[in-house]
Every structure is written in C-alpha cells, then in structure tokens.
Copies of this chain bind each other. A is one copy, B any other.
Amino acid sequence: MSVIYLIPNTLGENNFDKIFPAYNKEIISRLRVFAVENIKTARRLIAALGLREIIDQSEFIVLNNKTNPQDVLTFLHQNKAKNIGVVSEAGCPGIADPGADLVRFAHQNGFKVEPLVGPSSILLALIASGLNGQNFSFTGYLPKQQNERVRKIKQLEQKVLKENQTQLFIETPYRVQHMLDDLLKHLHPETLLCVAKNITMTNQMIKTLPVAEWKSENIDLNKQQVIFCIGR
C-alpha cells in the first residue's frame, strides 16, 4: 500500500536538530513525488536538509486553495503506486492549508497516511501557555472587519468562561498589533492572554498574563508571527 507522508516544514528556524526527528530526513530522501503548498519553500526545505540532489529527480505538484479538488483526485490516481510527501508552507500540513483535502481523498482511495513529528506553532503555543490543554479550540483567523472581530473575541471569551475551553487563534503579521489592541480593550481584565511570538525561532517569546497586566507591557508585535491563546 502506498503511503502519504505528512512532512512538517519549519516555522522559520533552520536548525533541524532542534525541530525535526532524524527520521524525517530519512523519509524525505526516499520520496520522489511531493504535493506542496509552495514549490519554492518545499525545495528550500529539502535543500536545507542537505538533500538537494533529490529536487531534480522529483515531481512537485502545487496544492493550494486555488486547486480544483478533481485535480487532487487525478493526481492521487496517477501516483497510486508511489509514496507521496505532503509539504506545507510552514508547520504541519493540513492545519491551516489545503493538505487536508488530499489526505481525505487518500483515505478514500486506499493510501496509508503517516504523519511525521515536527513543529506545530498551535500545539507549542498551547502547551507553553499554561492554559487548559484538556479542552481547547483553534479557530484560525478571526474576521477582518473590526466590529465583527470584536464580537468574535467576546464570543470566544464566553467559551472560556462557560466551558473552560482555551481558545487559540492566529492573525497575519501586518494585522497582529490591531488584534492585540482589540484584545486588551475588549477582554475582561482578569482573562488570561498568552502571546506566543516567533515560535521555535531565536527571538521566540511566549508569555501568559492577565489582560490587565498586558496593558502595561507595551509590547510591539508588528509584523511578527503570533499565536494568541485566551483562557482562565
């Protein structure tokens, strides 16, 4: 049975001894077909692992949110005798990228699916936040429009209070400071907020404080990679 290997990418850190088990390189070195969110960053990962020679011997198909699901299915049928590596733009495939479609089809078409261990900013933020990890939810990006975003923030805070469920979400680097401003303005002062910035990188910062204490921190998140978690 052919295998779909889910290959984590880096979160911006190229010290593979810190973020990858050795096995990942071993698996990648044996693959010749890759479904990738972005060809450039997938090649960069393979080259950084010292496996440059396999790039020329390999086939790369792009899989992003513009890909037609029918094309994903055709790709699987054409490669059903081969093992396939799925490489995301950053972190684990299938979390916030279109890899999930391919994996769903893979289950329906008799492939074996093997996820490889690697860095996930969501999971690392959660465990380092100190917030409840027995019950948590990740909701991706919040609405762009400010009044809708504020409504969503309050709705997430209600889930923290009523269900004791930690809420994780992300924001694009250029809107992350606005998000922080809204969080500090609209959350209850006692709600715990974790800001997890540039995870696994040398300038990593992960800190959990009550909203009231964050107000005096004067933190600058502009253009940073951030995961937010709220809890109690």
Contacts and interface: CB of A to CB of B under 8 A. Distances in A.
Interface stretch (A20-28, A37-45, A56-64): A20-28
Contact of A95 (B22, B134, B209): B134
In this complex, the interface size class of chain A, counting residues with CB under 8 Å from chain B, is 35 or more
* Secondary structure call for the A interface: mixed
A17 B26 CA distance: 10
Interface string A102-143: 111111100001110111101111111111111111111000
Which one of A95, A102, A105, A192 has the highest number of Cβ atoms from chain B below 10 Å of its Cβ? A95
Contacts of A95: 126-127, 133-134
Interface stretch (A146-154, A178-186, A200-208, A217-225): A200-208
A190 interface: no
Nearest to A192: B104
Contact of A123 (B16, B18, B123): B123
Interface string A188-220: 000010100001100010111100000000000
Given A22-B22, A124-B117, A133 B100 contact: yes
Nearest to A139: B135
Contacts of A19: 21, 23, 117
Interface of A: 6, 15-23, 26, 92-97, 99-108, 113-115, 117-120, 122-140, 165, 192, 194, 199-200, 204, 206-209
5 contacts: A18-B22, A19-B21, A100-B130, A135-B139, A139-B165
